[in-house]
Amino acid sequence: MTDITFVDVTLRDGNHTYKHQFTSEIVSKTAAALDAAGVDIIEVGHGDGLGGSTVHIGRSPEPAINLIKAACDSVTQARIAVLLLPGFGIFRDLEECKEAGVSVARIASHSTEADTTKQHIRKAADLGMMTVGYLISAGMADPETLADEARKLESYGASYVNLAESQGHLVPTEVAERVRAVRNAVSIPIGFHPHNNLGLANGNILAAIDEGATYIDGSLKGFGGGAGNAQTEATIAALKRAGHTVRTDLPGILDAAQVFADLVAPQPMPVIDNDSIMMGYANVYGGYVLPVKRAAEKYGIDARALIMKLGERSVVAGQEDAVEQEAQALAAAQAKAVA
């Protein structure tokens, strides 16, 4: 059985579900509850990471560093992590986070663009932070490509490689192929971050662990892009049930989930709705679920048709303008057909 390091991403990826409106109070109380439950690493910040608070994606109600400081001040055991996508986040963001008490920097890129992370991984390492090479949308790259990108991350000094299955598109055999390829390519540990659009998040986690993954991501109540992430409290139960070693306490994490749910009420919990299923099927980035719903309503078009167009276009994270473009094109085509 495997010794698992558990990373809870509620306070970063879950911000997508909450329209990037987490406050210091939500972060402080949730981080304290996660810490009390024995979670190893807690990721905090805007849904798109450091520098992500923009008109283009969504403004936070307060500076990200406030949320990060609130988390750092609320834990006694857990390590606090941040996510940075080069182009959004800059060196100074990493420096401020280090000063605030952050000890883990997860440096992200699209799954075929690891070379964009080199400088930021090395900067984080120079600051004495644990550095993670984070490959977004791992389901959009084949196993061999992921192995090549993972080799780059290892050469840059990453402490481990995290494969983010951001669309909830892969089935367990496909996850296993990708983790196996990366395991055979690098000597550093491997992490896995699933989404639940097809209801396969925990099955995919178990497949990833069978092939060597030892860092696992989840979020309380499943908060996250698309249909949400693996639901931390259910994932902890499943990992323990499968015989893996997890330091997180099951009753404690159930308590943390309730603390978080009370803080964000009456926000609905993520569900596997029709749009989320279509996004998983079409391999569309989960962070687009709310923009897709808004665009479909705004232009009076079928959300399913819009999602399929985005899938055909192979949109990646950070291309929110593509949702609007394709929605306008569908609306124009629909009007022409009626005329």
For the entire predicted model, the pTM comes to: 0.92
> Tens of pLDDT along 69-111?
999 999 999 999 999 999 999 999 999 999 999 999 999 999 9
The tokens describing 205, both together, are 């986690």
Q: Per the domain annotation, does 80 fall within a domain?
A: yes
Q: Is 169 among the catalytic positions? A: no
The CA-CA-CA angle for residues 301, 223, 205, to 5°, reads 105
Where does the pLDDT of residue 211 fall: very low under 50, low under 70, confident under 90, or very high at 90 and above? Answer: very high
User: Of 264, 291, 306, which residue is a domain's last?
Assistant: 264
Same domain, 108 and 167: yes
Same domain, 294 and 167: no
Under 8 Å between Cβ of 7 and 25: no
Under 8 Å between Cβ of 57 and 90: no
| pLDDT, position 166 | 93
Under 8 Å between Cβ of 51 and 89: yes
> Tens of pLDDT along 261-312?
999 999 988 989 998 899 999 999 877 888 889 999 999 999 999 999 999 9
Q: Per the domain annotation, does 269 fall within a domain?
A: no
Report the alpha-carbon distance of residue 257 to residue 6 in Å, rounded: 15
Return the closest-CA partner of residue 45 out of 75, 13, 12.
12
Neighbour tally for 269: CB within 10 Å:
14
String of DSSP letters for 4-24: EEEEE-TTTTHHHHTTT---H
Under 8 Å between Cβ of 226 and 276: yes
Q: Per the domain annotation, does 100 fall within a domain?
A: yes
Same domain, 258 and 317: no
- Measured between its terminal Cα atoms, the distance across the chain in Å is 64
The catalytic position among 16, 20, 46, 110 is 16
Same domain, 244 and 286: no
Asked if the model's pLDDT at residue 41 lies above 80, the reply is yes
| pLDDT, position 53 | 84
User: Of 209, 239, 264, which residue is a domain's last?
Assistant: 264
Same domain, 183 and 79: yes
| pLDDT, position 286 | 79
Work out how many domains the chain is built from and give that number: 2
String of DSSP letters for 199-223: S-HHHHHHHHHHTT--EEEEBGGG-
Mean pLDDT of the chain: 95
Tokens 């911000």 correspond to 15
> 237: domain range?
3-264
Asked if the model's pLDDT at residue 57 lies above 80, the reply is no
CATH number, position 199: 3.20.20.70
Under 8 Å between Cβ of 44 and 74: no
Say which residues have a Cβ less than 8 Å from residue 94's Cβ, sequence separation at least 6. 50, 82, 84, 105, 120, 123, 124, 127, 129
CATH number, position 290: 1.10.8.60
Same domain, 104 and 194: yes
Same domain, 141 and 280: no
Beta strands in the chain (DSSP E): 3-8, 41-43, 79-84, 104-110, 130-136, 160-165, 190-194, 215-218, 245-246
Q: Per the domain annotation, does 246 fall within a domain?
A: yes
What's the gap between Cα 189 and its chain centre?
18
| Mean pLDDT calculated for residue range 160-187 | 97
| Mean pLDDT calculated for residue range 155-163 | 98
Q: Letter for the amino acid at 174?
A: E
The tokens describing 27, both together, are 């972060």
Query: What share of the chain has pLDDT > 90, as a percent?
Result: 86
- For the chain, counts of helices (H) and of strands (E): 14, 9
User: Of 240, 264, 288, which residue is a domain's last?
Assistant: 264
| pLDDT, position 315 | 86
The tokens describing 306, both together, are 């819009």
Phi, psi of 62 (to 5 degrees): -150, 160
